[in-house]
Amino acid sequence: MNLQLSDNEIEQQATDFYEQELRASLEVAHPNAFVAIEPVSRTFYLGTTLSEAGRKARKAFPDRMSFAVRVGHAAAIHIGGFGK
pLDDT at 1 over 60: no
Domain ranges of the chain: 7-70
pLDDT at 84 over 90: no
Q: What is the pLDDT of residue 4?
A: 81
State how far the Cα of 49 lies from the Cα of 77, in Å rounded to an integer. Answer: 10
pTM: 0.86
46 phi, psi to nearest 5 deg: -95, 150
How confident is the model over 36-68, as pLDDT tens digits?
Answer: 999 999 999 999 999 999 999 999 999 999 999
